[in-house]
Amino acid sequence: MNNQTKNQLSKFIFIFLVICLMSYTNAIDTYPKDEEIRLRFTCTLNSQIPSPSTTYNISIFFDKTGLIIVDNQPAESMGNGIFNFSQTFNVSGFYEIIQVCVDGENNFSSSEFIKVSPGGEELEISESILYFLLLIFVLFLFISSTFFAFAISYKNERNEHGYITIVAKKKYLKLFFIILSYYFLTWLFNLMIAISVNFLPIQHFTGLFSLFYKVLLGMGWPLLLTMIIVVGIFAMRDSKLTEQIQRFGRAE
């Protein structure tokens, strides 16, 4: 693959990423899941404020399945054509709200969509791109550190008779990359939680990502302590081997 093809492929991936992110960022109101929210509506009939006897009924549908969440329930009148309706949404997703305002022979109906997410916040396009670029960067660091953790040899060099002639210092670098890859993996799952919370198509993975993150986070300090002990053992053993090599030219 030549450089021109690589550049074209990189541009295509970047444009595709931007389009995908824009498709998830909608100019609609976003509300938190599992919290009672107060929806506010206004009604004007013939460019005038409706009378106090006006009724304003609400129906709410879950956009993904068409399930009726609220079926033609009255909203609370606040006066001057303003109505409130309280509702708790237990499932993330998009909801269609159908509103019907009736004042005698005059009536008005409309519909709008709202979004419900765990955090109740909508990421801007720039923030979304930053999240994904950071995810790709951390993934690259994790793959690189894991590669070096496997590729670096930890064995001491031996002669044809099986005696140790050179003590390998690279084993400490190998342990360093093992720790590094572990913490990059922990960071990776942390980012995946943040992304899954804010993007509806993958929110069902949030619990799984959170579980892995908590396990990795909980094992972080014990692993670090274990590695420190292992390094100490290796250091004492290598010190003895180095002393033998300096005295006898070899070690067992």
d(C-alpha 155, C-alpha 67), whole Å: 63
Nearest C-alpha neighbor of 55 from the set 83, 14, 91: 83
Q: How high is the pLDDT of residue 141? A: 92
d(C-alpha 77, C-alpha 53), whole Å: 9
In angstroms, how far is the first alpha carbon of the chain from the final one?
50
DSSP letter for each residue of 63-101: TTT--EEEEEEEPEEEETTEEEEEEE--S-EEEEEEEEE
Q: How high is the pLDDT of residue 84? A: 92
Question: pLDDT 10s digit of each residue in the chain, 252 long?
Answer: 556 655 655 554 555 455 454 444 445 778 888 888 888 888 888 878 888 888 899 999 887 677 888 999 999 988 888 899 999 988 877 888 999 998 887 888 888 888 887 766 666 666 667 778 888 899 999 999 999 988 888 777 777 777 777 777 888 888 899 999 999 999 998 888 777 766 655 556 777 888 888 898 889 888 889 888 988 888 888 888 888 877 777 677
Quickly tell me which residue has 């993958």 as its tokens. Answer: 202
Q: What is the pTM of this model?
A: 0.57
The CATH class of the 26-117 domain is mainly beta
Q: Which amino acid is at 187?
A: W
Alpha helix stretches (DSSP H) within the chain: 3-24, 125-151, 170-198, 206-248
Domain ranges of the chain: 26-117, 125-248
The alpha carbon of residue 235 and the mean position of all alpha carbons in its chain are separated, in whole angstroms, by: 40
